[in-house]
Structure formats: structure tokens, C-alpha cells
């Protein structure tokens, strides 16, 4: 079973992000379960949502406490919430920002972890560009598809279409595609640097 935890703030589409991730995984033939952290949702308040992906029925109903992957929709949470709590040593981390881990002051998180599983992507900017609003959830799923390979971009697009329609769906798919390309490019560059070293 693969467990994902998404952190963000109320209004950023954290819960929808987890739901779309579950749809994408389902469309690829998996079992998936998505659920929110059940707080009283308020705009701007820290929100957590979870997604489990497995090849068999998922019965477990506890929150995800040892995630295999973290998607952080709002980097201002990094020093406010224990977002990295329980993260698996070889886990994936995707943060919505144009800055690096070091610049965010969380360089130590990378220590002892697999560098190719840690990535940042300016998802809000991509969303603003393609959707017209800084809602980063779909873009992050595109980035997550590139980072983890757990889902593919086509499934993300199909999941977006289940949630949204028309221009909003088109925009979110464009943002997800841009984020996918961005993360893939970044990972290729990192691989080149690693080879050169």
C-alpha cells in the first residue's frame, strides 16, 4: 500500500487534490481511498487530506501517519505544522514553491534521503498562468505523477475532468501538464548533475 499525505490551507483544494489522486489511481486499476482530516474547514487554516493506493481492497481507516509521499501545497506551513512527521525514509516530497529546500530552510530534510524523490514545483504560479487562479492542487498532481510514477499524466487529466468541466478542467490539465514537464526536466537535470559528479 502506498500512502500519500497532502498538506495545505483551506481554500487551496487540498481535499479535492486527494480525491483526484484517488480517482487517477482508480482509473489505473488500483484500489484507492481518499479522505480529509475532518477539521472544521476554514479558509487559510491548515488542512490535511490523505490518499491510499493499493492493489487490493483498502480497509484501514486511520489517518496516514507514516506517508510514503508528501505533497505540500503551501510552503508557509513548513515551520508551523509537523508536515514531515512520520515520513518514510525513502519517501517522496513535492513542495509547491519556486524555491529550493535549502532556501526554504528545510535543507536538513534531504539528509539521508533519496534526492531524486525530493522536488519543488511552482504549482501556484503554473495554476495562475493556466487556470487564472492560484489553486495548485491539479498542477501538483501532474508534478507528483512525474516525481513518483505512481500515476500517469493521462489519469491525472481524466481525474481533473471528473471534478471539473469546460475551461476550468482545460486550465487545470494544462497546469498539471506544465508541472509534469517542469518536474521531469528538473529530475533529468539532477540526473545529469549526478552523472557528471
For residue 125, the number of C-alpha atoms closer than 13 Å in the C-beta half-sphere is 10
87 lies in the site for other proteins, by CB under 8 A: no
Considering only the stretches 30-38, 91-99, 103-111, 179-187, report the one whose residues sit in contact with other proteins under the rule CB under 8 A.
30-38
**Cα 115 versus chain centre, distance:** 17
Encoded one letter per residue, x for contact with other proteins by CB under 8 A and - for no contact, window 41-80 reads: ----xx-x---------xxxxxx-x--------------x
Give 46 or 136: the residue with its C-beta nearer to other proteins. 46
By the 10 Å C-beta count (0-12 exposed, 13-18 middle, 19+ buried), 112 is classed as exposed
**Distance in angstroms (rounded) separating the CA atoms of residues 30 and 28:** 6
136 lies in the site for other proteins, by CB under 8 A: no
Which among 12, 92, 87, 84 has a CA at the least distance from the CA of 47?
A: 12
Sites of contact with other proteins (CB under 8 A): 5, 18-19, 22-23, 26-27, 31-38, 40, 45-46, 48, 58-63, 65, 80-82, 85-86
Amino acid at each position: 500500500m502506498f500512502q500519500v499525505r497532502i498538506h495545505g490551507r483551506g481554500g487551496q483544494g487540498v481535499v479535492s487534490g486527494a480525491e483526484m489522486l484517488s480517482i487517477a489511481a482508480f482509473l489505473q486499476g488500483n484500489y484507492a481511498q481518499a479522505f480529509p482530516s475532518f477539521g472544521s474547514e476554514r479558509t487559510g487554516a491548515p488542512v490535511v487530506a490523505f490518499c491510499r493506493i493499493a492493489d487490493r481492497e483498502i480497509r484501514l481507516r486511520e489517518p496516514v501517519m507514516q506517508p510514503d509521499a508528501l505533497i505540500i501545497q503551501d510552503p508557509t506551513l513548513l515551520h508551523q505544522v509537523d508536515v514531515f512527521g512520520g515520513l518514510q525514509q525513502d519517501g517522496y516530497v513535492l513542495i509547491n514553491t519556486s524555491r529550493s529546500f535549502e532556501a526554504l530552510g528545510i535543507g536538513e530534510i534531504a539528509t539521508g534521503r533519496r534526492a531524486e524523490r525530493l522536488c519543488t514545483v511552482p504549482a501556484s504560479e503554473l495554476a495562475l498562468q493556466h487556470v487564472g487562479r492560484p489553486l495548485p492542487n491539479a498542477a501538483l498532481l501532474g508534478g507528483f505523477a512525474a516525481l513518483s510514477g505512481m500515476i500517469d499524466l493521462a489519469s491525472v487529466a481524466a481525474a481533473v475532468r471528473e471534478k471539473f468541466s469546460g475551461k476550468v478542467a482545460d486550465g487545470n490539465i494544462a497546469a498539471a501538464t506544465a508541472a509534469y514537464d517542469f518536474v521531469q526536466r528538473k529530475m533529468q537535470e539532477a540526473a545529469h548533475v549526478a552523472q557528471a559528479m
